Structure 1
Amino acid sequence: MSGPGATLVIGATGTTGRRVVAGLVAEGHQVTAAGRRATPVPGARAVRFDWDEPETHGGALAGNSRVYLVPPVGASHPEAVMLPFLRQARAAGVRRAVLLSSSAIPAGGPAAGRVHQALPGLFEEWAVLRPSWFMQNFTGSHSHARTIREDGVILTAAGDGRVGFVDAADIAAVAVRAVADVRAPCADLVLTGPQALSHDDVAAIITEVTGRPVTHRRLTFERFRDHLTAEVPLEYAGMLAEMDHAIAAGAEDRTTDTVRRITGRPPRSLRTVVEEEAARSR
């Protein structure tokens, strides 16, 4: 690692961010936990940070030499705010940046893909985490989890396509290593779970574990896009629906050894994650 300093974790109370903070704190690292409300986080210094409020950026960066980047939620063009911030970060002494992107988005692609493309030119020490779709989409506050709870259905335009769904805890474990290890990955890391599953498979696992019938309902591109617009802007909803079409064509039907290679342990299964969530809900 180049130079002393703490790690700025953006989105510190989010799905991966809170797990990254906890992992770094557990290893004794100094952490600056950034969020729109500066929510107190055990073991970390909480600061206010909002992508859309540049006046919050300088204070959040102070004293940090590393940064874990979660792009602004629902933004189709996050590079507009992220690239100026990253230039400011470099000038402020940040030497390593770890970006959370997606397995569906290559360097130079839409959304975080443009930030991914620029990252190696901004920092000598870097990594881009490209996880497959989160297992927590079926257990947290995501629209899939909501329709499962309310209607017993998973709505997609993914057809029979399979996905290497990955646990957010495994993503965070890789992120901790990418941020904290002496040598930066300086690589594009595709993260998956242990097996590729269709949404029919997911519905069957949730049904078996919870005892509540859950089915997968196939939607057209247009109907799925329109369903998503209840939560995100139309352009972003269209991008997500396109990703489901790509899943249907086999784009996410793969697994990688990245979690095991980086963390030294195998990735967790969807059944394990659903069992743990069901136990917490009892």
Structure 2
Amino acid sequence: MTTSDTTLVIGATGTTGRRVTAGLIGKGHHAKAAGRTATPVAGAQAVRFDWDEPETWDEALDGVDRAYLVPPIGSSDPATVMLPFLHRARAAGVHRAVLLSSSAIPAGGPAVGRVHEVLPSLFEEWAVLRSSWFMQNFTGTAPHARSIREDGAILTASGRGRVGFVDAEDIAAVAVHALTGDRAPNTDLILTGPQALSHDDVAAIITEVTGRPVTHRNLTLEQLRDRWAAEIPPEFATMLADMDRAIADGAEDRTSDTVERLTGRPPGTFRAFVEREMS
């Protein structure tokens, strides 16, 4: 294997991955865009990659020395497939890894928390992006976006709990910094937007900006779990519902200075996001 200043971006057409790929290319770095269908991405080398198909791993790792890691979607136990891949990545010459995780999941916690815990022992340079809930969850094909379009409502079990919603543009900017800086941060980074907002606040901002009435409808934990379970595996649905309960209890009521400290610019506000993406 040969290595160079080339980053493997897993999930390169996804919410953060496509922004990370564009950010790397924009700064003059090489990127290998990995996805299940090897979709062409401007300026990057496209390669097929599937967490569940180890035969796709070697081609993805050939010629790269760093990686942006997005866990398999919908998995409550991503470590089962991610850890064997990461051992192979280290053997192939990857020395820097940046993992997308969640502000709700610490090292050693459930799901991707197990990968977070092991990452420092595998790579000499690393970072874990513990991002808050994405602003993009209210757009596109995400469940909140669908319920806004279909019912004029955001459905949660979060009560009046607040969240420091973060723009995927800001997550990607931090990821590019961590992947291309002189050294990786070698720590986990809590990523939030500039304000902690309740879902009532979110509904009000969307209503004000778009002129379309949107409300926040609070569900019981069981109702939310069953709603998620209609679309994703039951274990993952239960984990997401438990995260909403944690929001209600105040676990996500915080903001951080990480985006501004690492990128030199403040994180985008939710209102600015809605004006850009939903109006």
- Sort the TM-score into its range (normalised by shorter chain): over 0.9
Alignment of 1:107-256 (within 5 A): 107-256=107-256
Contact 2:5–2:29 under 8 Å retained in 1: no
Matched residues, number: 277
1:25 — aligned with what? 25
Indicate conservation of the 8 Å contact 2:105/2:112, yes or no.
yes
Q: Which residue of 2 aligns with 1:11?
A: 11
Please give the per-residue CA displacement for 1:144-199, whole angstroms capped at 9, x wherever unaligned.
01100111000001000000000000000000000011111001000000000000
Q: In 1, Cα distance between the equivalents of 2:240 and 2:265?
A: 31
**CA separation in 2, counterparts of 1:40 and 1:29?**
17
Tell me if the contact between 1:139 and 1:274 (Cα under 8 Å) persists in the aligned partners. Answer: no
Cα deviations across residues 255-278 of structure 1 (Å, max 9, x unaligned)?
Answer: 000000010000000111111113
What is the TM-score of this pair, normalised by structure 1? Answer: 0.97
The amino acid that maps onto 1:182 is D
Aligned to 2:71: 71
Looking at structure 2, the residues matched to 64 and 134 of structure 1 have their Cα atoms a distance apart, in angstroms, of 28
The Cα offsets for residues 6-42 of structure 1, whole Å up to 9 and x where unpaired, read as: 1000000000000000000000101000000000000
> CA–CA distance in 2 between the matches of 1:60 and 1:227?
36
After superposition, where does 1:43-54 map in structure 2 within 5 Å?
A: 43-54=43-54
Q: Give the whole-Å Cα distance in 1 for the aligned partners of 2:226 and 2:236.
A: 11
The separation in 2 between residues aligned to 1:230 and 1:140, in whole angstroms, is: 19
SS in 1 for 2:149: helix
Q: Quick one: which amino acid aligns to residue 140 of structure 1? A: G
Gaps of 5+ in 1: none
Sequence identity, in percent? 73
**1:230 offset after TM fit, Å?**
2.0
* SS in structure 1 of the partner of residue 50 of structure 2: coil
**Quick one: distance in 2 between partners of 1:4 and 1:48?**
20
In the alignment, structure 2 segments of 5+ residues that lack a partner are none
Report what 1:34 is aligned to. Answer: 34
What residue is the counterpart of 1:105 in the other structure?
Answer: 105
Q: Which residue of 2 aligns with 1:278?
A: 278
- Return the letter of the residue paired with 1:56: T
Task: State the partner residue of 2:62.
Answer: 62
Q: Is residue 84 from structure 1 mapped to residue 94 from structure 2 by the alignment?
A: no
How many Å separate the matches in 2 of 1:162 and 1:36? 35
Contact 1:79–1:115 (CA under 8 A) maintained in structure 2: yes
**Normalising by structure 2, what TM-score?**
0.98
* SS of alignment partner, residue 51 of structure 2: coil
Q: Distance in 1 between matches of 2:277 and 2:255?
A: 23
Residue 261 (1) aligns with residue 261 (2): yes
Measured in 1, the distance between the counterparts of 2:195 and 2:79 equals 32
RMSD: 0.7
Aligned partners of 1:47 and 1:27: how far apart in 2? Answer: 21
SS at 1:189 equivalent? strand
